[in-house]
Amino acid sequence: MPTWGSLYFQNSSSAMMEQLIFFHDHTMMIMIMIMILVGYMLLSSCINKFYNLGLFEGQEMESIWTILPAVFLLLIAFPSIRLLYLMEENEFSEMTIKVLGHQWYWSYEYSDFSFSSFDMYMTSSNENLFRLLNVDNSLMVPYNTDVRMIVSSMDVIHSWTIPALGVKVDAVPGRLNQLSYIFNRVGMFVGQCSEICGANHSFMPIVISVVPRLMFLQNWN
């Protein structure tokens, strides 16, 4: 998770997260432009002692402050809609993983390997410096592979989230939600349940180990 003093996103581990960061920067620049423009107009109206009577009830001025916000909204809307459609693309998944949320742990099953399923519990081990993020079994995912995840819950609503990946999906009892992702670098990535699900909500960490394909296949042999 972000360290102390970190005010920005984590380093992206997928192309989608990179696009989300670009969209965030794009939106922030538009907001800064709006703040500068509005601040200049307010400051100018407070300092300037001379008023143009043509500005009061002027059609040109009203047209400008109606059209200009619409242009700003369009500059935000089109990239946002594009991202929404990109996030829903899931036509060529190479493997499927099922995720079930419990109070308070996660269950995983590799649908392409009928014998492989396990539970992920938080441990109190001090092997690394990640507080409340140590688990007994991490989820292993191959690098540069289109993975589809089917997420549900056995009791209450949970939320499966990996911030560096840019994905978040609710685990709802009796419903199957789906997401897809591709890791573009190897490493270990962490997350936590993002839906308040009870007393031990803070003790449902998610740890994914991204390894090369050959290492992933050797693990199942």
Over residues 61-102, the pLDDT tens digits come to 778 888 888 998 999 999 888 888 877 766 677 888 899 999
Q: Taking each helix axis as running N to C, give the angle between helix 15-47 and helix 59-87, from 0 to 180 degrees, rounded to the nearest 10.
A: 170
Q: For residue 197, give the nearest of 162, 150, 161, 166 by alpha carbon.
A: 161
Residues sharing a CB contact under 8 Å with residue 146, sequence separation 6 or more, in sequence order: 92, 93, 94, 95, 180, 181, 182
Q: Pick the closest to residue 147 from 192, 97, 204 (CA basis).
A: 97
Residue 164 · residue 17 · CB < 8 Å: yes
Structure tokens at 11: 């380093």
Long-range contacts of 83-87 (CB under 8 A, 24+ apart): 83/16, 83/19, 83/20, 83/23, 86/16, 86/19, 87/16
Helices (H) and strands (E) in the chain, counts: 3, 10
DSSP 3-state percent helix, strand, coil across the chain (nearest 5): 35, 25, 40
79: part of which helix (H) or strand (E)? helix 59-87
Domains and CATH numbers, the chain: 15-88 (no CATH), 95-219 (2.60.40.420)
* 60, 68 contact by CB (below 8 A): no
pLDDT at residue 53, as a whole number: 61
pLDDT digits (tens, 9 = 90+) for 107-118: 998 877 766 788
CB within 8 Å of 96: residues ≥ 6 apart: 110, 111, 112, 147, 148, 149, 150
Alpha-carbon torsion, ordered 192, 195, 201, 206, to 10 deg: -20
The highest-confidence range among 79-88, 132-141, 148-157, by mean pLDDT, is 148-157
Q: Is the pLDDT of residue 149 over 60?
A: yes
pLDDT at 128 over 70: no
